[in-house]
Every structure is written in C-alpha cells, then in structure tokens.
Chain A
C-alpha cells in the first residue's frame, strides 16, 4: 500500500536556486518525515514534523504540514550540487511501527 506520493517525479535546478518538493498522503498521521537518498547510499532523515506543527526548519531546509489538505512540502534554499538526490516523505500512518515511504522525487542540482 502506498501511504504518500511526492510530486513532481523529477526536478532540475541550478545551484543557488530554491526548490520545493510536495507530498500528499492518504491516511491520518501523527508525524511526517522527510528523507534524502544519495546515489549508492541508504536514505537519511532530514526533518520530522509532527501533526500539531505547521512548519519546521533545519538549516536550508523548511518543511510544512497541512493536515486539512493532507499535504506536506519540503523547500530547499540556496541549493548546492550535493543536494542532488531522491527525496522521500514517509510516515507510520497511525499503524504503530510500520514506516511507509512515498515514491520519491529525483532532484538534480546543476552547476
């Protein structure tokens, strides 16, 4: 079962530009997590935003959560080439410890 979907499927920007990845989810959540996966590595958590939070920041990253529309966004400012990766949203969907990932957005940051 697919808990969430990110969009767009792929993005390409130049270094220094800002970019936003969106996530829509289908069930009620207690928290939503954003992960980044670089080529050849496992995913790494970027931000965890709880259902009672509307915004969370981590350096150049900003996540928002809108529980009424069941959507979240992850924005990256001043992008760098090393931000090139696949970005996933993920959540437990209220089902205990079963963490389910979205399909991911491939971000390419070019010099």
Chain B
C-alpha cells in the first residue's frame, strides 16, 4: 500500500498572503489532483497533473498556481489568500483514467 501526505495539516494565513500547500505520494502514481472542499459541500477540482511537469486546469483554477516538479510531489499555491477561501484542500493521486483515486487527509486553510 501507499500513502498520501499533505503538509501542513492546518494553515493560517492573512488576507492577501501567498500560501503554499504540499503533497507527497509514494504510490508511484502518474496522476495527481488538488481539490477544494468548502464546509458541508462537495469537491471541486482546482488543478491536476498527468505526469511530471504537466499541469491541467480544473474548474476552480483562478487564484491558484500548481507545480509538479517530481512524479511524487504536487504543490498548490494560493496566490493571494481571500477570506472566502477558507476550506479544506485535498490532494489525491491515481494510476490514470478509470482507476481508483486515493486521497490525503487534507489541509485546512483559515484566512484571517
């Protein structure tokens, strides 16, 4: 089995601040994802990557940047944190199309 590790677990930032969330996976999966989950709601796709150095925009990419410098890691940057961005950010990985997607435990972002 493998694991997806997200750091930090909790992140507090100030409005306007640039913040980076990190994700590592040891499944040797090709595809990695970043989702945002607002309280009591579903998951919305921010960015995904099908291989090292690849980036694909999801439905919620505005205000975010992502980086896939290694196969095992995928980072997400909030370019200018806003108070309405308080949410849990979930990283995930899979072998590819129509395969199981494995999730990390999330990073909870609070903007003050």
Contact = CB atoms under 8 A, between A and B. Distances in A.
Nearest to B95: A97
Contact of A100 (B41, B45, B50, B90): B45
B92 A42 contact: yes
Interface residues of A, number: 24
Contacts of B31: 97
Interface in A20-59: 30-31, 33, 40-45, 48, 50
Interface in B54-93: 56, 58-59, 90, 92
A97 B35 CA distance: 14
Contacts of B94: 97, 99
Contacts of A111: none
Given A42-B106, A88-B43, A102-B42, A97 B59 contact: no
